[in-house]
Structure 1
């Protein structure tokens, strides 16, 4: 079976002329895994994207998620809202393992968590997301070999799973509110979504 065609939760594909390769764009709540030479692209505000890769065989994937606001300032993996982040991470890891990646060879690059949403800076949305993902990866013994977190600017992230390279572009001038609108809509969606069940992880 060719797993490269399983654009699970990430249906937007296009040809990127600048990088001369097929690309997959992931939106909030989506992820994509590939064992080919597709580039994975996303734009982040307060959300987090984790690029995970098996460094030995070049299988990699990226997710894009945000912790729903649980109404308090708790941090850690045991909070109600963090369960959504755990689920998003387990989906990505599980998919990589099904495609032949080894858990012991996974390495991570982590991006996002900017305080870019109006009215949400007091809630430290970006900081909560950044703190969660770093704690999660530490607890799972997955090394973080690169990160670009926090700040106040949105980011566009280009991930090349076949090589492991990541390019990050800070977006310092916004021409519209698409990024904030998309993340605000996503926050409302996950806030009222029932918590997902556990994901069985492959060894």
Structure 2
């Protein structure tokens, strides 16, 4: 008998505080699963949409950085439209039914200074709400906006979520976002090469 060893997904760890296995969802990433895990991410101006099908105990999370989409790279989850489509399609492939999907959305904090007239956090938050409304996916919980970063934990089998607002002085989140947006500004506008 040949038994294959399945490697745990990237970002897997045991979270002693939550007392469960967890998977970190990084910016421009998404994951759908029916395993008994918590999906965990850290958000500033980015948004995470957590979707689940309560009948199947199947859920997922994305973490997008910019609203809208990129027709040149539909596989990039850094854009909201792409991240939402990737997550929804992955869940549907695993048996979820669109009419049963429920959503919880988090993030969109205006943590970056210098973006006062059209802050990215506000645009991301508005995008996810509008997108889900257009797709007839009911939002059952949200924590969007303000000027704070958040740590989000989402238990995929139950849909339970935990949000911890982080102090506005937490420079690590702001520094990481500035670096990410700086790399995006230097990345090529088209083509298959992506500098990250």
TM-score between both structures, scaled by the size of structure 2: 0.82
Q: Which residue of 2 aligns with 1:183?
A: 177
Q: Which residue of 2 aligns with 1:22?
A: 21
| Residue ranges of structure 1 left out of the alignment (5+ in a row) | 69-76, 197-203
- Once residues 163 and 98 of structure 1 are traced to their aligned partners in structure 2, the CA distance between those partners, rounded to angstroms, is 19
Change in Cα spacing, 1:143 to 1:167, as seen in structure 2 (3 Å) is same
- Once residues 107 and 89 of structure 1 are traced to their aligned partners in structure 2, the CA distance between those partners, rounded to angstroms, is 13
Q: 1:14-49: CA deviations, max 9, x gaps?
A: 101122211001111111211011100011100000
2:127 to 122, 132, 137: 132
| Residue ranges of structure 2 left out of the alignment (5+ in a row) | 1-5, 192-196
Matched, 1:159 2:154: yes
Q: Which residue of 1 aligns with 2:114?
A: 119
Q: 1:36-94: CA deviations, max 9, x gaps?
A: 111000111000000000111110000111216xxxxxxxx6999xx831111111111
Shift of 1:179: 1.1
Deviates more, 1:50-59 or 1:183-192: 183-192
TM-score between both structures, scaled by the size of structure 1: 0.80
- Once residues 195 and 98 of structure 1 are traced to their aligned partners in structure 2, the CA distance between those partners, rounded to angstroms, is 29
Bigger relative contact order (CA 8 A; separation at least 6):
1
RMSD (Å) for aligned C-alpha atoms: 2.5
SS in 2 for 1:183: helix
Matched, 1:41 2:40: yes
Q: Which residue of 1 aligns with 2:52?
A: 53
- Once residues 69 and 164 of structure 2 are traced to their aligned partners in structure 1, the CA distance between those partners, rounded to angstroms, is 33
1:29–1:186: 8 Å Cα contact kept in structure 2? no
After TM superposition, the runs of 4+ consecutive aligned structure 1 residues lying more than 4 A away are: 77-80, 193-196
- Once residues 24 and 69 of structure 2 are traced to their aligned partners in structure 1, the CA distance between those partners, rounded to angstroms, is 31
